[in-house]
Amino acid sequence: MSGPVESVEVFTLTLPRDTPYLGALRPGERANAQGYIVRKGNRTVYPTFDRSVLVRVKTRGGTVGWGETYGIVAPGAVGAIINDLLSGFVVGREVDNPSAIYDDLYDLMRVRGYTGGFYVDALAAIDIALWDIAGRQAGEPVSSLLDGVSRETIGAYVSGLPEPTMDKRADLARRWQDRGFDAFKFATPVADEGPAAELQNLRSALGPQARIAADMHWNQTAEEALALIAAMEPHGLWFAEAPVRTEDIAALETVSTATAVPIAVGEEWRTVWDMRQRIDRCNISIVQPEMGHKGITNFTRIGALAAEHEIDVIPHATIGAGIFLAASLHASSALPTLAGHEFQHSIFEPNRRLLVGDMDCREGMYRLPTAPGLGVEPSEEALELLQPI
């Protein structure tokens, strides 16, 4: 043991991007003073840069663990929750059971209804850092600490084709196919010619064997979603993701019980409770937990519930330095019904330099980092980019 937690520090890590996430600005889209853009296709805000929140937890014995959560907007909110509230209840704790600490922290604000949002994002960052410490203390990768199956590689699907035209997006997908990837996903809000035409074009470029999914970004009513899915279905749709607004469970029930196309949801959920109330009513084929929102503790519980209901798990991968991606790979590797993992190549490749470790994604497969703990940590360059909150 390396003793109790001595300190918890919070930082932002910001990086410029050559091309904004989801591609170059479209007509009518412009960055505001904060560098935020609203994508017309899904009415959602994104930064024109990459930014996440990193947490560094140190024990009295000198073990350091790193965590990460969302920082794409308002990173100070997560920082304030950690600095003002959570840190004081983590310092002094032994790190022999991160899940018990997670549950203690979660319960602190339950009576006030804080069961999601920035609060649970903050918990996720701390949870990941505590699991990193637990692994380092044990001298084992985090994956070895988790019950379940054991994988060293995980199938990766190429997500995000940030090019301005349908043909260029198909060319980009083809280049990844040439590099050994056989599964892809496009985003319907930026499919300028319509989702069916986009899928048809990708299908003719990638061939009949390629798996191609559509991320529908929660942007439709049930009727609209079903019409779009019906138009895409003849071109071979692997799964339809986030077809309706996340709050509208009735619409998800309508869509998921009316189509034979597999429905995938769940990146935005925070806890297993978000999942429970949907799987009871809806016909969900795939859940997509996002580590940066859930932490290893919650992610693992969602995976267990998915296995209980024979639902596949294909985790989400988001914008960040990659500490939460490493955590996601470790937690994913133990899940009984894992069926792949998202690969955000336009973030992973340029941001490789931010991490030290042997985490990799090539020839269609993620390679889990092998060193103790998460097996990755910020590089010298990343450490210099950290801004304390």
CB of 229 to Mg ion, least distance (A): 15
Query: What residues are paired with 47 via a beta bridge?
Result: 36
CB of 72 to Mg ion, least distance (A): 14
Q: Which range touches Mg ion (CB under 5 A), out of 42-50, 112-120, 211-219, 226-234? A: 211-219
Q: In this structure, what token pair is assigned to residue 361?
A: 């994604």
Angstrom distance (rounded) from CA 254 to CA 250: 6
CB of 240 to Mg ion, least distance (A): 11
CB of 288 to Mg ion, least distance (A): 7
Q: Which range touches Mg ion (CB under 5 A), out of 9-17, 53-61, 63-71, 208-216? A: 208-216
Of 215 and 253, CB closest to Mg ion: 215
Rounded to 5 degrees, φ, ψ at 2 are -110, 20
Q: Helix, strand, or coil here: 273?
A: helix
Residue 251: its H or E element: helix 249-258
Beta-strand pair 377-378/355-356: antiparallel
Q: Which range touches Mg ion (CB under 5 A), out of 128-136, 207-215, 257-265, 325-333? A: 207-215
Task: Report CA torsion sign: 249, 251, 255, 258.
Answer: positive
Of 215 and 377, CB closest to Mg ion: 215
Q: Which of 355, 356, 352, 307 is nearest to 332 (CA)?
A: 307
Of 93 and 341, CB closest to Mg ion: 341
Task: Report CA torsion sign: 164, 176, 16, 266.
Answer: positive
Question: Contacting Mg ion (CB under 5 A), which of 50, 215, 274, 377?
Answer: 215
Name which of residues 167 to 206 contact Mg ion (CB under 5 A).
Answer: none
Query: What residues are paired with 264 via a beta bridge?
Result: 241, 286
Q: Which of 185, 192, 186, 247 is nearest to 222 (CA)?
A: 247
- Number of chain residues interacting with Mg ion (CB under 5 A): 1
CB of 363 to Mg ion, least distance (A): 24
Q: Which range touches Mg ion (CB under 5 A), out of 51-59, 214-222, 300-308, 363-371? A: 214-222
Q: What angle do CA 161, 182, 256 make, to 5 degrees?
A: 75
Of 215 and 274, CB closest to Mg ion: 215
CB of 300 to Mg ion, least distance (A): 21
Of 50 and 215, CB closest to Mg ion: 215
CB of 217 to Mg ion, least distance (A): 7
Residue 342 engages Mg ion in binding (rule: CB under 5 A): no
Q: Which of 175, 148, 151, 147 is nearest to 161 (CA)?
A: 175
Residue facing Mg ion at closest CB distance: 215
Of 68 and 215, CB closest to Mg ion: 215
Beta-strand pair 286-287/64-70: unpaired
- Is the separation of the CB atoms in 156 and 163 below 8 Å? no
Site residues for Mg ion per CB under 5 A:
215
